[in-house]
């Protein structure tokens, strides 16, 4: 059995801790034979191979009496880059428990469990459902709306350095002025409405006018301004920080994707670029 979970990009500008989209990078867990203790084979740096791995910690929270198995973990979702690496593992751990213990969890139940573990649903929701998901987590209750992201390319630059969420949250203010908060909320509303109606031009302007977090975080990602300039020169809809960063994503028409990627590569920045698309399936199971 194989469990596959997509990467995710959260916030998408002003959708702070609320908006997320599933993207075409993946974590896969192959469930092998039963064993005396949990054993995870992988080639990932600084990741445990025993029951202290987040995958197993999560699975045992859901089903404490699971029988141990040998597992194989493969992932091309980079760690601590703003593409939902930890969320993908949490969702995979819930699915591992669901399958091995035959819990028959619904997608909504998986989301509630994942959100309680992660603390907010913006990454775990699209990892479960695929596509675009707008969600909230208030008084320990999750509400969400799932929809299709407008057709476009996600031209993505992934720096070679990590930016931990705790560090990038440290630059945020403790509060916003009421008038400023109303303005920030109205921008977020337009961004979401534009995405759900397929109006990427309007959505893109709102995405780039975020007042909640990007203006405080962009200084932590030295590549951002140069990449944004490339997006503007090539008619992109928007350039934004993925999650807490440092990954930068340019939303663009497919006919412009190669030119934008080539221009980013031409900057010779310390990192890698790729062209991603929306994953529409979310977490899935393949049986041998």
**Which pLDDT value is given to residue 45?**
84
Average pLDDT estimate for 130-135: 98
pTM: 0.95
- Residue ranges for the known binding site are 78-88
Backbone conformation region of residue 164, classed left if phi is above 0, alpha if psi is from -120 to 50, else beta: beta
160-169 pLDDT, tens digit per residue, is 998 877 788 8
Distance, C-alpha 63 to centroid of its chain = 25
Residue positions forming the annotated binding site for ATP: 78-88
DSSP output for 98-160: HHHTT----HHHHHHHHHHHHSSSTTHHHHHH-SEEEEEEETTEEEEEEEPPPS-EEEEEEES
pLDDT at 117 over 90: yes
> What CA–CA distance (Å, rounded) separates 287 from 76?
21
Which of 11, 4, 59, 46 minimizes the C-alpha distance to 245? 11
Would the pLDDT of 219 be above 90?
no
Note the pLDDT of residue 173.
93
Q: What is the mean pLDDT of the chain?
A: 96
């Amino acid at each position: 059995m194989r469990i596959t979970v997509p990467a995710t990009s959260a916030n998408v500008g002003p959708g702070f801790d609320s908006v997320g989209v599933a993207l075409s990078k993946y974590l896969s867990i192959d469930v092998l034979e039963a064993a005396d203790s949990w054993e995870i084979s992988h080639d990932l740096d600084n990741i445990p191979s025993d029951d202290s791995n987040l995958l197993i910690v999560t699975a045992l929270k859901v089903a404490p009496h699971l029988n141990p198995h040998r597992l194989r973990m493969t992932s091309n979702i980079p760690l601590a880059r703003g593409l939902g690496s930890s969320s993908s593992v949490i969702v995979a751990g819930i699915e591992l428990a669901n399958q091995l213990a035959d819990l028959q969890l619904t997608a909504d139940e998986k989301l509630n469990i994942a959100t309680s573990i992660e603390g907010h649903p913006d990454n775990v929701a699209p990892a479960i459902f695929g596509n675009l998901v707008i969600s909230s987590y208030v008084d320990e209750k999750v509400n969400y709306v799932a929809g299709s992201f407008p057709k476009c390319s996600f031209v993505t630059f992934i720096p070679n350095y990590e930016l931990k969420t705790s560090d990038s949250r440290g630059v945020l203010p403790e509060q916003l002025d009421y008038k400023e908060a109303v303005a920030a909320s109205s921008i977020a509303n337009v961004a979401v409405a534009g995405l759900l109606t397929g109006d990427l031009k309007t959505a893109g302007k709102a995405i780039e006018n975020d007042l909640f977090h990007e203006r405080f975080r962009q200084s932590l990602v030295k590549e951002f301004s140069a990449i944004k300039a490339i997006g503007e020169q090539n008619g992109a809809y928007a350039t934004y920080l993925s999650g807490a960063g440092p990954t930068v994503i340019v939303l663009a028409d497919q006919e412009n994707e190669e030119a934008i990627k080539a221009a980013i590569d031409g900057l010779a920045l310390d990192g890698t670029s790729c062209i991603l698309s929306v994953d529409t399936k979310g977490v899935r199971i393949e049986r041998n």
